[in-house]
Structure 1
Amino acid sequence: MKTRTFENKVVLLTGADGEIGTALIKEMIARKVRKIYATGIAKERLHQVASIFPAHLTPVLLDVTNEDSIRQAVEQCQDVDIVINNAGVELKSNFTGEQAGKKALMEMQINYIGIIHMVNYFLPVLQKGEESSILNILSVGSHTVINHIATYCASKTAAHLLTQSLRPELALVGVDIIGVYPGYVDSSMSADIQTEKITLVALAQNICTDFEKGLHDIFPDPMSKKLFAQYPILMPQLD
């Protein structure tokens, strides 16, 4: 298994204005990353995060649902080695409610279509470098039934299948694509859920450690490890 490193790499991170994004930033800096393009849609929050790590962070406004926004980011970020697709949304809803379709569309646009656009537009940049990688932050919801977030799980399942399907294709052009499948994280999103959770610090550490080990499918917490040991999601490739 070929190992990887964050040291001296240039990373583009979507969803950098969120809790998991901030935790990943801190961990990558500890691993001597050269530069991080911290991207997101919350301008003030991005600049706030960048002000904490001015030597390493460049804030970039980026909406993964807007192709023009992605194109502008590509023009600005031509030296990227690693793209981390961390932007995501979970909209709890009763599926029989009137807003179910609208919420499902938003989840698909951000959690699935957004990844497609990011991979498609940044692939020419990644192909220019050596040891380039894409990390897709997915979820145990990629292959699990969870009450009240059916459409979220559907969007993450779509992103999981995309990740697995693209892996052999991108390998032909020298780009690794990695799926990350965390369980419940101790964050504001899961504050009302009483179950086993991993801390943000431990999550970021485990993701980065397994990435550097060369793994292609990362289960960064006890819950995800146990779940996927019982119900594997890695499917055989069909030509």
Structure 2
Amino acid sequence: MPLQHITLPTQDGTCPAALASPAQPRAAHPGVILYMDAFGPRPALYDMAKRLADNGYFVLVPDLYYRVGDYGTFDAKTAFADEETGKRLRGIMAETKQALTERDGAGFIAALTEAGAAGKIGTVGYCMGGARALIAAAAYPERIAAAASFHGGNLASDAPDSPHLHAATIKARVYAGSAGVDGSFPPEQSARLALALREAEVDHTLENYVGMGHGWAVSDHRVYDPAGAERHWTRLLTLFDETL
């Protein structure tokens, strides 16, 4: 089935989203929420959703910026390089707080269920979406059984909404793949996240992708690495296959 563009209700309005469905129906297909990176929903993320769908999942790619209105499009290779565009994008990111995306999670899960997803749900996020994938697992532990972050930033920061502070309510298996050198997720945060997950007795894996830059797994990023991206796919599909 081709990618569908839908709108779904949330507590704060209606959220545009893309929905990718499995081509071969079976008795039960799990669902996955794909949390976007900073540059918003676009073909590169839709292709990733389709690949997950081809592996047997209903996949929802919500527009986390929907409260901003019509914000246009951002080029992943150049948005932050341009001073004006970068300033605007950072402002939109700051407006889209973790708590808002957490609240939207109920609507995302309901949309997947309505589409036909059965049983447990997985989350995966990139860049800013990585933290949201973990926060969702903490907020909806009764449904979310797997949560993955790739080049996610600020997973264990000093902010009051940092994901590591919510580890106690996570029941999902967690995977976090970090870029080799990433200022948004330095070694001290990696250690803090590992400690929080271990103390909370969360099944987890933290992996460092040496030589990869922040954004390596998404095809339209400036630092996209095909080999690293395929390694990420192996880890992600294994995680979902074993848990969902």
Q: TM-score normalised by the shorter chain: which range applies? A: 0.3 to 0.5
Q: Which has the higher helix share?
A: 1
TM-score normalized by structure 2?
A: 0.45
RCO higher in 1 or 2 (8 Å CA, sep ≥ 6)?
1
